[in-house]
Structure 1
Amino acid sequence: MLDFDLSSIQEARDLARKAKEAQKIFAKFSQEEVDRVVKAMVDAALANAEWLARMAVDETKFGVFEDKVTKNRFASEGVYNYIKDMKTVGIINEDKEKRVVEIAAPVGVVMGIIPSTNPTSTTIYKSIISLKSRNAIVFSPHPSASRCIFAAAQIMHKAAVEAGAPAGIIGCLSKNTIAATNELMKHDDIAVILATGGSAMVKAAYSSGKPAYGVGPGNVPCFIEKSADIQYAVRCVMASKTFDNGTICASEQAIVVEECMKDKVVAELKAQGGYFMTPEEISKVAKFLFTPKGMNAALVGKSAKFIAEKVGINIPEGTKVLIGEQTGVGKDYPLGREKLTAVLAFYCEKDWHAACERCIQLLEYEGIGHSLAIHSNNDEIIREFALHKPVFRILVNTPSTLGGIGYTTGIAPALTLGCGTWGGSSTSDNVTPRHLINIKRLAYPIREYEKVSQAEKIVKEECADQVSLEDIAQIVQKVLAQLK
């Protein structure tokens, strides 16, 4: 084991060094050359989207094949359509009035930490945004998805090199050890860490001494307000929560409704495949769903049927999501936490003010800074939520999963969603190539600087009107007194 650890550390060093050498060459590429490389990578990702999705499902044993195909396509084509015209080389902006010219410079070598929940799509996405900004990238895969992540990185590297990029511009650890990951994090040739994964891994990235972009957990409350189209709102929630079996951190985790509409929402949820568990069933699921260290990895990305069979509860055929009604938030109400699987919490509150407070409680318990969904046709309440909720994505009348990543909204398409300082993140944005460039500023003068001595100031003040020789003598005396 020690020999394997040592060889993995050496591999990390070799990959970082090769990536640095390649990046120095790539940094000299023109915008046209960079864009040609990126387009080739996108084409390769699209051509292999299904194969990589199948590989991810087979290796991790969770998620939905068709949805992983969609994620791979989104991570390539969806991201590309947003960034293809983005200037990342040379002069990227010029303010003629203020006479400031902004010039893009790459950050260097990016370290990409990849989760098991979205393995191939995140590898594709991070490869594309890194090379679009003239950086190299080296990946540290999650151990339970190492083969599919390595395969995705190889596909991206091959396409980039064939399009003219230098060899070594994209690397990936093949020997997965904590020692190798730590070595990469602290290696001198790594400029920035792009971390997507569990809280411990993200915290380690921020503790490495390197600049880092990381994301905290999502715990998205979904408020269905009384003016909402209930059937449509529930359809959005069900589609979102079952997309890849809930593995995207922007997926809904709790539905919050007002008392006056509870029965209608419950009936619609049942009609669309939701199963409301009894208190005893909730207890069984909660105990199996969470361990002292967090969510049980064996249930991540699993279907409602799989979970029900594991805990020994009977559910109707066609059940899509298990739902547990909760009356509080905290350790005694575990369903109020992030659940990357087909399980939802359900809260009923007196009115929209109480619902608002419940959403805040859920976010403060876990997921602060991430996202919130609201279904409503009342613009006043929508704005109220936007102004006062401690999140950076307020998703209106859309599936939270797909809205948060920019699939159904105008938010920047991304698979790394910043939670801002509230969530312990260095950005509140969806991360794009612009986050992976440094900006030089060429500044010309817009006003003259005149240095006026104290003596000159006194002379000018005293000589505002014509003066006599006697006045001049007095002025000289004042100047001499100032100089003592």
Structure 2
Amino acid sequence: MAAEAAVAATEEAKTIAALIERSRKAQAQIENYTQEQVDELITAMVWAVAQQDVAEKIAQFTVEETQLGNYEGKYLKIFKKTRAALFDIINDKSVGVIAEDKERNIVKIAKPVGVIGALTPCTNPEATPVIKSISAVKGRNSIIIAPHPRSKLTNKMICDLMREALKACGAPEDLVISIDSPSMELTGELMKQCDRILATGGAPMVKSAYSSGTPALGVGAGNAVITVDDSANLDEAAEKIRISKTLDLAASCSSDNAVIAFESIKDELLEKLVAQGGYICNEEEKAKLQGIIWEDGHIASRIVAQPATVLAEMAGIEMADDRTFLIVPETGAGPAHPFSGEKMSVVMAFYTVKDIDGAIALTNEIQAYQGQGHSCGIYSYNDDHILKFAFATKTSRVMVNQPQAPSNSGNVWNGMRQTFSLGCGSWGGNATNNNITWEDLINVTWISKPLAVNKELPADEVLFASAIAKQK
């Protein structure tokens, strides 16, 4: 058995090595492309998938293959999100001198990393390959994409379209390569042999990326917690919470997993959430729902990104067909309160607190269990609350008065970088906590010239004044 495994491993290593060789040859051909040539490529890549009829086809195909999410959510991602991602980077300088610091006499030159190994999840398989690919090519890299087996045909369709677009521009198709028959072993080999890993997916995948020996950019677990304070516009808050909670049936890791409401507005907010399509579960229904969502401590795959009516039927809950998300009253956080964690479904925990201090403490408690470092939201028109919340929560992104899921990864109504790869910093066990884009997929050479006038160190009594004063 050991010998057979060794042979199989060798074959998988050879398979990936062949793809890496093709990818390197393609990358070498664009290493000296101009900014105009690079931008022509990424524009063509997005146009190839984002034309209306093509986007409609991809959205429908993705739902049929994965049985996750819904057509409307998939279409928005492939049609609008890819456009927005292109628009976000198209005017960025990514070739040659990209920055100059005259005060320090420093010049920065962008250079490609090489071959990017990208891991993509089945929950967002439509736009993720596109956004990762244009980020790679923007930095004059090539990319090899390893999809989740559940979305391998979607990935191939999208990659083939981008390859055709590259060829039409006179560039090598192999700037984008899809692993068409993915496996854990092939993905493992890709991570070992590429130059940089860009991993989006579950915790085991990201952990594997970080332990591969290759420099890796991974993302942490999502579990967005949303606070609604006493200054919020409750109609606005309820509508945007619904938009975020139901987008692509909560396939996004940025979906509103918990809402924390101030006591003073709790009842009114619940009424408005119900008016938006929410269904409030009682204790018996909560127990039934818990029984179908988790199996052996893990989220059951059958409930991920499914309609509320399907979840209700699975759980034996009698609920009107017009309900689009479920609200579960909760009081605690941690393993004993599973609804405080990520649910990957249109199910939302609902908490009540007295004030902003209570909201901060509860947010940190919930995310210490799951989702620390990822993102939070707050509906508020009290700047003191907003700033206090942002200062005190261990989070990389705080969305203010915005639907969380389509906002923290960047959108046309905010200035966040457009991506589907959200670093969570040291809080989430990640190397970065920014919205990952092309800037993370380049090397930078620093040119340092002597200063016109040397810096002069101040006298010790000036430099160490505070330390000296304490000794007296």
Alignment partner of 1:310 out of 308, 314, 330: 314
> Contact (CA 8 Å) 2:256, 2:348: kept in 1 or not?
yes
Q: The residue matched to 1:314 in structure 2 has which SS?
A: coil
Aligned to 1:155: 161
- Two-structure CA RMSD over aligned residues (Å): 1.7
Aligned to 1:445: 450
Write out per-residue CA displacement over residues 125-165 of structure 1, whole angstroms, 9 at most, x where no aligned residue: 11111001100000111011111012111111221122122
Query: What is the Cα deviation at residue 8 of structure 1?
Result: 4.7
Query: What is the Cα deviation at residue 34 of structure 1?
Result: 0.9
Alignment partner of 2:76 out of 70, 75, 81: 70
Q: The residue matched to 1:317 in structure 2 has which SS?
A: coil
Deviates more, 1:348-357 or 1:367-376: 348-357
Take 2:94 and 2:38, find their aligned partners in 1: how far apart are those partners?
9
What aligned pairs does 1:3-14 form with structure 2 within 5 A after superposition?
8-14=12-18
- The residue type paired with residue 435 of structure 1 is D
Are positions 1:326 and 2:330 aligned together?
yes
Unmatched segments (≥5 aa) in structure 1: 451-484
Take 2:113 and 2:393, find their aligned partners in 1: how far apart are those partners?
33
Take 1:418 and 1:160, find their aligned partners in 2: how far apart are those partners?
29
Are positions 1:423 and 2:431 aligned together?
no
Take 1:149 and 1:167, find their aligned partners in 2: how far apart are those partners?
15
Bigger Rg, structure 1 or 2: 1
- The residue type paired with residue 327 of structure 1 is T
- The residue type paired with residue 299 of structure 2 is M
Are positions 1:337 and 2:341 aligned together?
yes
Aligned to 1:121: 127
Alignment partner of 1:168 out of 140, 150, 174: 174
What aligned pairs does 1:32-47 form with structure 2 within 5 A after superposition?
32-47=36-51
Alignment partner of 1:179 out of 157, 182, 185: 185
> Contact (CA 8 Å) 2:222, 2:342: kept in 1 or not?
yes
Query: What is the Cα deviation at residue 352 of structure 1?
Result: 2.5
Take 2:107 and 2:226, find their aligned partners in 1: how far apart are those partners?
43
> Contact (CA 8 Å) 2:136, 2:438: kept in 1 or not?
yes
Question: Cα 1:4–1:329, aligned 2, differ >3 Å: closer, same or farther?
Answer: same
Deviates more, 1:351-360 or 1:385-394: 351-360
- The residue type paired with residue 381 of structure 1 is H
Query: What is the Cα deviation at residue 7 of structure 1?
Result: 5.2
Q: The residue matched to 2:205 in structure 1 has which SS?
A: helix
Unmatched segments (≥5 aa) in structure 2: 456-472
Aligned to 1:399: 403
Take 2:283 and 2:364, find their aligned partners in 1: how far apart are those partners?
24
Query: What is the Cα deviation at residue 191 of structure 1?
Result: 0.7
Query: What is the Cα deviation at residue 449 of structure 1?
Result: 7.7
Q: The residue matched to 1:370 in structure 2 has which SS?
A: coil
Are positions 1:102 and 2:108 aligned together?
yes
Take 1:216 and 1:208, find their aligned partners in 2: how far apart are those partners?
17
> Contact (CA 8 Å) 1:76, 1:128: kept in 2 or not?
no
Take 1:30 and 1:449, find their aligned partners in 2: how far apart are those partners?
36
Alignment partner of 1:31 out of 29, 35, 38: 35
Take 2:297 and 2:183, find their aligned partners in 1: how far apart are those partners?
20
Aligned to 2:275: 271
Query: What is the Cα deviation at residue 55 of structure 1?
Result: 1.2
> Contact (CA 8 Å) 2:291, 2:315: kept in 1 or not?
no
Take 1:178 and 1:13, find their aligned partners in 2: how far apart are those partners?
16
Write out per-residue CA displacement over residues 405-450 of structure 1, whole angstroms, 9 at most, x where no aligned residue: 1113210111111101111111111111111111111111115789
Alignment partner of 2:417 out of 412, 420, 423: 412
Are positions 1:380 and 2:347 aligned together?
no
Q: The residue matched to 1:392 in structure 2 has which SS?
A: coil
Q: The residue matched to 2:127 in structure 1 has which SS?
A: helix
Aligned to 1:232: 236
> Contact (CA 8 Å) 1:15, 1:172: kept in 2 or not?
no
Are positions 1:50 and 2:62 aligned together?
no
- The residue type paired with residue 178 of structure 2 is C
Q: The residue matched to 1:208 in structure 2 has which SS?
A: coil
Take 1:118 and 1:32, find their aligned partners in 2: how far apart are those partners?
30
Take 1:211 and 1:391, find their aligned partners in 2: how far apart are those partners?
24
> Contact (CA 8 Å) 1:75, 1:415: kept in 2 or not?
no
Take 1:418 and 1:310, find their aligned partners in 2: how far apart are those partners?
34
Q: TM-score, normalised by structure 2?
A: 0.92
Deviates more, 1:262-271 or 1:124-133: 262-271
> Contact (CA 8 Å) 2:229, 2:355: kept in 1 or not?
no
Alignment partner of 1:358 out of 356, 362, 365: 362
> Contact (CA 8 Å) 1:112, 1:139: kept in 2 or not?
yes
> Contact (CA 8 Å) 1:8, 1:175: kept in 2 or not?
no
Aligned pairs, number: 448
Question: Cα 1:271–1:318, aligned 2, differ >3 Å: closer, same or farther?
Answer: same
Write out per-residue CA displacement over residues 226-274 of structure 1, whole angstroms, 9 at most, x where no aligned residue: 1111111010000110000011111110010122222111111111111
